[in-house]
């Protein structure tokens, strides 16, 4: 189905309008009440955002009122979740491409194509990272066009949005006809089942509909792998996940047990889990120090700082860095001085300037960007062909998608002061991005 010409779905109800309801009882200016399931805000903060709790708390005195408002808030939250997904699905039809923007598939087979940069608009409005916004759009399209029964149950608040999204993602790879077949069989049944039973039913229907893919999925779940991942807030420790052959896993477990016991015998007083982790580190170093692989760590600090930050890992205190490097051979490279920056008369960004850019702005400067600067383009805020210099104050790391949105999609970017990027999207949103994050400006 191309260019978004998907057939409308008949029989779905109109959405009710949000209306202002008079407060049920006196309350301080700026407080927020819930009356008949509708949010009513009296006043707001300086930017016009609703105030849920005032300085005087604006909360009820009677515990029964607390319970009543909790139930109303839950109903309102369900309404908001449903409304959000419905708006996203409808936006695909309502928003034409801008400039040379292409249409790309984000939903499964049978769903309309989406303007290439629409997920940036959606992510900006909902404070979502670009990849999360893409996933949300795909969920909305899959549910509306491939699971009409499930969609109908969801918009009538008989099924939580997150459960409907789970089904859509599990079926995303299937042809449209197969997804519709599964929807016919379970769409009206899932709301009445516990989540455990619903998952078992879904697994069975997917296997029956597409046994070959189910077999591939089972093989993928058993695929051998070892992954490392940073732990938020901890620069001294890294997480590890592994899937091994059963015999190898049993042998590793036994080896770690033996080594942990020997560490205890030699005076290590830490707990068993810590000694096992240390034993795994000793195995990684092996018995031949000269063969230990070289690892690059980027540590950010200043002369008067009491905290160091290890890139892609997290913060470390004074003792944490020493512990991190304990038993390692360390080779230092000279410090990069950010004050020592000279522009160059070329479009290409020199390696030294790019490294300075990465250290000063470590993340993509698109709104709510998450791509690390080392994986991003070094973008000229004022384009090179329009007189923009190749100098640190005119550069910013951008993902390839955000870079294309600037070039082809009508997104405007300025940098009024170094380190502060102002975005104006073609659909009227404004953002300020710094290395402290994203601020969405009121219109």
How far from chain centre, in Å, is Cα 79? 23
The enclosing H or E element of 378 equals: strand 377-380
Cα separation, 171 vs 151, in Å, equals: 14
Question: Where would I find the beta strands (DSSP E) of 244-361?
Answer: 299-300, 308-310, 314-316
Which residues lie below 8 Å from residue 354, measured CB to CB, with a gap of 6+?
Answer: 378
pTM: 0.68
Residue 348 CB-half CA count within 13 A: 3
pLDDT digits (tens), the chain, 443 positions = 443 444 444 333 344 443 333 333 333 344 344 344 344 443 444 445 556 665 555 677 788 888 888 888 888 899 999 999 999 999 988 889 998 899 999 999 999 999 999 999 999 999 999 999 999 999 999 999 999 999 999 999 999 999 999 999 999 999 999 999 999 999 999 998 888 899 989 988 988 888 877 777 767 767 888 888 877 666 677 888 888 876 777 778 888 888 888 888 888 888 999 989 988 888 887 744 344 445 566 776 666 666 777 766 666 666 666 666 666 666 666 556 555 566 666 667 888 888 888 888 889 999 999 898 888 999 999 988 888 888 888 899 999 999 999 989 999 999 999 889 999 999 999 999 998 889 998 76
pLDDT on residue 83 = 95
Please answer whether residues 222 and 243 qualify as being in contact, where contact means their C-beta atoms are separated by less than 8 angstroms.
Answer: yes
If we measure between CA atoms, which residue out of 338, 331, 383 comes closest to residue 356? 338
If we measure between CA atoms, which residue out of 335, 435, 436, 347 comes closest to residue 391? 347
pLDDT on residue 357 = 87
pLDDT on residue 390 = 86
If we measure between CA atoms, which residue out of 363, 425, 357, 416 comes closest to residue 392? 357
Which residues lie below 8 Å from residue 99, measured CB to CB, with a gap of 6+?
Answer: 408, 409, 410, 426
Please answer whether residues 412 and 427 qualify as being in contact, where contact means their C-beta atoms are separated by less than 8 angstroms.
Answer: no
């Amino acid at each position: 189905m191309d260019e978004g010409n998907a057939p409308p779905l008949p029989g779905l109800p109109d959405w009710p309008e949000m209306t202002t309801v008079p407060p049920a009882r006196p309350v301080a200016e700026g407080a927020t009440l819930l009356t008949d399931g509708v949010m009513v805000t009296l006043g707001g903060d300086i930017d016009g955002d609703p105030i849920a709790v005032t300085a005087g708390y604006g909360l009820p005195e009677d515990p029964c009122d607390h319970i009543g408002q909790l139930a109303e808030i839950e109903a309102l939250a369900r309404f908001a979740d449903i409304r959000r997904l419905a708006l996203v699905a409808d936006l695909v039809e309502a928003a034409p491409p801008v400039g040379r923007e292409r249409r790309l598939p984000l939903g499964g087979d049978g769903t309309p194509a989406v303007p290439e940069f629409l997920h940036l608009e959606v992510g900006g409005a909902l404070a979502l990272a670009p990849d999360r916004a893409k996933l949300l759009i795909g969920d909305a399209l899959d549910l509306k066009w491939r699971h009409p029964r499930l969609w109908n149950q969801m918009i009538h608040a008989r099924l939580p949005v997150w459960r409907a999204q789970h089904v859509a993602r599990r079926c995303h790879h299937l042809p449209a006809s197969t997804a519709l077949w599964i929807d016919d069989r379970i769409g009206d049944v899932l709301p009445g089942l516990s989540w455990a039973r619903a998952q078992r039913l879904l697994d069975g229907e997917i296997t029956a509909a597409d046994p070959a893919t189910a077999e591939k999925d089972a093989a993928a779940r058993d695929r051998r792998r070892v992954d490392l991942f940073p732990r938020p807030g901890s620069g001294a420790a890294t997480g590890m996940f592994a899937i091994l052959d059963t015999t190898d896993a049993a042998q590793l477990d036994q080896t770690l047990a033996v080594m942990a016991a020997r560490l205890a015998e030699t005076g290590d007083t830490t707990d068993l889990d810590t000694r096992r982790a240390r034993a795994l580190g000793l195995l990684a170093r092996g018995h031949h120090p000269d063969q230990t692989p070289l690892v690059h760590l980027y540590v950010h600090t200043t002369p008067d700082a009491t905290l160091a930050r290890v890139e892609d890992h997290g913060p470390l205190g004074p003792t944490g860095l020493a512990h991190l490097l304990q038993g390692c051979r360390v080779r230092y490279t000279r410090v990069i001085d950010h004050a020592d920056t000279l522009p160059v008369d070329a479009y290409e960004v020199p390696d030294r300037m790019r490294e300075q850019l990465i250290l000063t702005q470590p993340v993509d400067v698109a709104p709510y960007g998450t791509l690390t600067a080392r994986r991003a383009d070094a973008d000229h805020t004022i384009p090179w062909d329009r007189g923009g210099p190749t100098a640190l104050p005119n550069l910013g790391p951008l993902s390839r998608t955000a870079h294309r949105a600037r070039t082809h999609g009508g997104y405007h970017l300025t940098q009024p002061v170094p380190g502060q990027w102002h975005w104006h999207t073609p659909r009227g949103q404004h953002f300020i991005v710094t290395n402290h994050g994203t601020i969405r400006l009121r219109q």
